[in-house]
Amino acid sequence: MLISELAELTGVSARALRHYEDRGLLIPARNSNGYRDYSESDVTRVAQIRTMISAGLGTSIIQRYLDCARTGDHGISLEMCPDLRAELDALAKRLDTRQAELRETRRRLTGLASVG
């Protein structure tokens, strides 16, 4: 299938699909005229990529661990490949730190609003 067809099937723009290719996340075949030629398995691969992105993983982490993604009856999950747990724990810690910073900022704003 062509990039436009994959984009329509997955709800992902052709630009995003080209970005995934640039990052090594999606590797389409090429037909004789050089056009990208996607397969049904690429539909699943795009869903895995989108799920990982929506969970907060960057493309460099996804590139390292995309082979750990599994698609089953209950959706997409990650098999705990070596080092993946450490990556996920580090991301969770960064999110916790950022949440604490935002709560502190909110507290300061509330304090400013109540002055006067």
Please give the DSSP secondary-structure letter assigned to residue 36: E
Give pTM, 2 decimals: 0.79
In this structure, the answer to whether residues 95 and 52 fall within a common structural domain is no
What is the CATH classification number for the domain harbouring 39?
1.10.1660.10
What domain range is 33 assigned to?
1-79
Q: Band of the pLDDT at 111, cuts 50, 70, 90?
A: very high
In this structure, the answer to whether residues 87 and 99 fall within a common structural domain is yes
Q: Band of the pLDDT at 77, cuts 50, 70, 90?
A: confident
Q: How far is CA 94 from CA 25, 26, 88, 101, in A?
A: 24, 28, 10, 11
Tokens (6 digits) for 69: 């993604």
* CA distance between the termini of the chain: 64
pLDDT at 55 exceeding the cut of 80? yes
pLDDT at 82 exceeding the cut of 80? no
Domain count, the chain: 2
Q: Band of the pLDDT at 104, cuts 50, 70, 90?
A: very high
C-alpha span between 9 and 116 (Å, rounded): 56
Exposed, middle or buried: residue 115 (CB in 10 Å: 0-12, 13-18, 19+)?
exposed
> What pLDDT score was predicted for residue 74?
79
> What pLDDT score was predicted for residue 116?
63
Q: Which among 15, 60, 67, 13 has a CA at the least distance from the CA of 44?
A: 67
In this structure, the answer to whether residues 2 and 35 fall within a common structural domain is yes
